[in-house]
């Protein structure tokens, strides 16, 4: 269980940790796996994008998740919004509900603030396993837009 004193860090995906990051997807419930892309797919998409920034999330020295942000500048990624888009966020099942995801999103927001962005966008599906409550608790609000069937939301930075 994470404590508020545990350090969250973002680390590059390398040949040394890529398999472990991919295996984290297996820790999600079947319902969550329907809502969250497999980390292996996300990493492949990130390496194919000129606009993606992605990292493994560590709690102290323990790998606990994956984050990927698209800065909105690359049209061929299929992500069209008015600013950076939280393309993927995945926290391993055993580390959920301990504040790790919230702290990771706050760190990503700080990174984007330093780069001069005013808002962060993301989207989510509805139904069992939906992260809707998580994003609402972080202050994300619906924009009225959609990404496919997912509701687009944003939060001011």
| Residue among 124, 129, 114, 110 at smallest CA distance from 154 | 124
pTM summary value: 0.91
The domains of the chain are located at: 8-116
The partner residues of 10 in beta bridges, in order of sequence, read: 57
Kindly report, residue by residue over 62-115, the tens digit of the pLDDT.
999 999 999 866 656 566 767 899 999 999 999 999 999 999 999 999 999 999
- Greatest Cα pair distance, the chain, in angstroms, is 41
Question: If pLDDT is split at 50, 70 and 90, which confidence band does 129 have?
Answer: confident
CATH code of the domain made up of 8-116: 3.40.630.30
Q: How far apart are CA 92 and CA 21, in angstroms?
A: 10
Render the chain in DSSP notation, one character per residue. Answer: ---TTSPEEEE---TTTHHHHHHGGGGS-HHHHHHS--HHHHHHHHHH-SSEEEEEEEETTEEEEEEEEE-S--GGGS---SS-EEEEEEE-GGGTTTTHHHHHHHHHHHHHHHTT--EEEEEE--STT--HHHHHHTT-EEEEEEETTEEEEEEE-
Q: Are 89 and 70 in contact (CB under 8 A)?
A: no
Rounded to the nearest integer, the mean pLDDT of the chain is: 91
Q: Which of 43-47, 49-53, 78-82, 145-149 has the highest mean pLDDT?
A: 43-47
- Cα gap 135→106, rounded to integer Å: 12
């Amino acid at each position: 269980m994470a404590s508020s004193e545990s350090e969250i860090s973002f680390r590059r995906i390398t040949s040394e940790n890529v398999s472990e990051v991919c295996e984290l997807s297996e820790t999600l419930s079947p319902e969550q796996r329907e809502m969250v892309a497999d980390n292996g797919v996300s990493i492949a998409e990130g390496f194919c994008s000129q606009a993606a920034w992605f990292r493994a999330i560590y709690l102290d020295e323990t790998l606990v998740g994956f984050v990927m942000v698209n800065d909105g500048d690359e049209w061929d990624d299929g992500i069209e919004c008015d600013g950076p888009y939280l393309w993927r966020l995945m926290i391993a099942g055993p580390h959920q509900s301990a504040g790790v995801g919230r702290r990771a999103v706050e760190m990503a927001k700080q990174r984007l603030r330093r780069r001069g962005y005013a808002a962060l966008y993301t989207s989510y599906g509805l139904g069992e396993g939906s992260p809707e409550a998580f994003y609402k608790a972080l202050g994300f609000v619906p924009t009225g837009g959609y990404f496919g069937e997912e509701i687009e939301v944003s939060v001011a930075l």
